[in-house]
């Protein structure tokens, strides 16, 4: 009877050890998978931000014109009336 109880206890302990080993292996695999996914998402957003920053930096902020260019003032109302084509 003592041999049977010892055998059952040994089998139970082996099963318990395998259960916890499997549990911890799955836990470690899950943590590693989440860590890898986090790094991949962070890298994706870093590349996205870098690309967006590069696009923004390459955009012209202002229209570059010649400094000596004479800019005409807007026409006045009298200029518009005098240049309006007549029917005559």
Note the pLDDT tens digit of each residue in 30-82.
Answer: 999 999 999 999 999 888 888 776 666 666 555 556 565 556 666 676 766 66
pLDDT at 49: 83
Interval 4-16 mean pLDDT = 91
pTM to 2 decimal places: 0.47
DSSP string, 17-69: HHHHHHHHHHHHHHHHHHHHHHHHHHHHHHHHHHHHHHHHHHS-SS----TTP
Q: Where are the domains of the chain?
A: 2-82
pLDDT at 54: 66
Residue of higher predicted confidence among 71 and 8: 8
């Amino acid at each position: 009877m003592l041999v049977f109880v010892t055998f059952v206890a040994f089998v139970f302990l082996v099963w318990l050890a395998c259960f916890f080993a499997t549990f911890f292996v799955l836990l470690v695999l899950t943590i590693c998978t989440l860590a890898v996914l986090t790094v991949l998402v962070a890298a994706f957003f870093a590349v996205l931000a870098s690309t967006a920053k590069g696009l923004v930096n390459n955009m012209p902020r202002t229209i570059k014109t010649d400094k000596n260019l004479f800019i005409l003032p807007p026409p006045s109302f009298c200029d518009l009336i005098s240049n309006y084509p007549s029917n005559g």
